[in-house]
Amino acid sequence: MVALAVILFAITLLTIDLVIQARQKKYPLMSPSLRSSEKADVVRMPKSVFFHPAHTWARMEGADSVTVGLDDFIQKAVGAIDKVYLPMIGQKVKQGDPVITVHHGDRKLMLVAPISGTVFALNNDVLDNPALIAANPYEEGWLFRLEPELLANSLSLLTIAENAVSWIRTEAMRFREFLAGQTLQHATLGATMLDGGVPVANSLEYLDDSSLRKFEDQFLR
Partner 1 sequence: MSYALLIDLTGCVGCGECQRACQRSHGFPEVEAKNLNDKNFTCLDQHGDVFVRRMCQHCEQPACASVCPVGALEKTKAGAVNYSADKCIGCRYCMLACPYDIPKYEWASNNPRVRKCTMCYDERTSKGQPTACSEACPVGATLFGKRDELLAEAHKRIGENPDKYVHRIYGEKEAGGASVLYLTSVPFEKLGFKTTLGNEALPEKTWNVLSKLPDVVATAGVLFSAVYWITHRRDEVRAFEQKMNGKSNVN
Partner 2 sequence: MITRLIGKLTFWKALGIVFILGGLVSGAARFIFGLGATTHLSDSTPWGVWIGFDVVTGVGLAAGGFTLCGIVYIFNIKRFKPIVRPTVLTAFLGYLLVVVGLMFDLGRPWAIWHAIVMWNPHSVMFEVAWCVMLYTTVLALEFSPVLLERFHLTKALKVVKAITIPLVIAGILLSMLHQSSLGSLYLIVPEKMHPFWYSPMLPVFFFVSALAVGMGMTIVESYLSARAFNKTLETPLLKDLSRMMVGVASVYVMMRFLDMLHGNKFALVGWNMESGMLALEMALFFAIPLVVHNVRFGQTRLGMFLGAMSVVLGFVTNRLNVAMTSLERYYGNVYFPSIGELFVTAAVVSAGFWIFSLAVKHLPIFVDAHEEKDMVRLTPVMRPVVEEPRTAASAQA
Q: By the criterion CB under 8 A, which residues form the site for partner 2?
A: 1-7, 10-11, 14, 16-17, 20, 29-30, 32-36, 39, 41-47, 125, 128-129, 131-132, 135-136, 139-140, 165, 168-169, 172, 196, 199-200
Contacts of residue 82, defined as CB under 8 A and 6 or more positions apart, other chains included, come to 103, 104, 105, 130
CB of residue 118 to partner 2, shortest distance in Å: 27
Candidates 69, 79, 87, 199; binder of partner 1 (CB under 8 A) is 87
CB atoms under 10 Å from CB of 158, counted, come to 20
Looking at 8, 20, 89, 173, which residue binds partner 1 (CB under 8 A)? 89
Q: Say how far apart CA 94 and CA 69 lie, in whole Å.
A: 15
In terms of CB distance, is 76 or 145 closer to partner 2? 76
109 in Cβ contact with 216 (< 8 Å)? yes
Residue 88 binds which entry of partner 2, partner 1, none, CB below 5-8 Å type-dependent: partner 1
Backbone dihedral region of 76: left (phi > 0), alpha (psi from -120 to 50 degrees) or beta? Answer: alpha
User: In whole angstroms, what is the distance from residue 162 CA to residue 129 CA?
Assistant: 32
Query: Where along the sequence are the contacts to partner 1 (CB under 8 A)?
Result: 85-91, 99, 101, 122, 124-125, 127-128
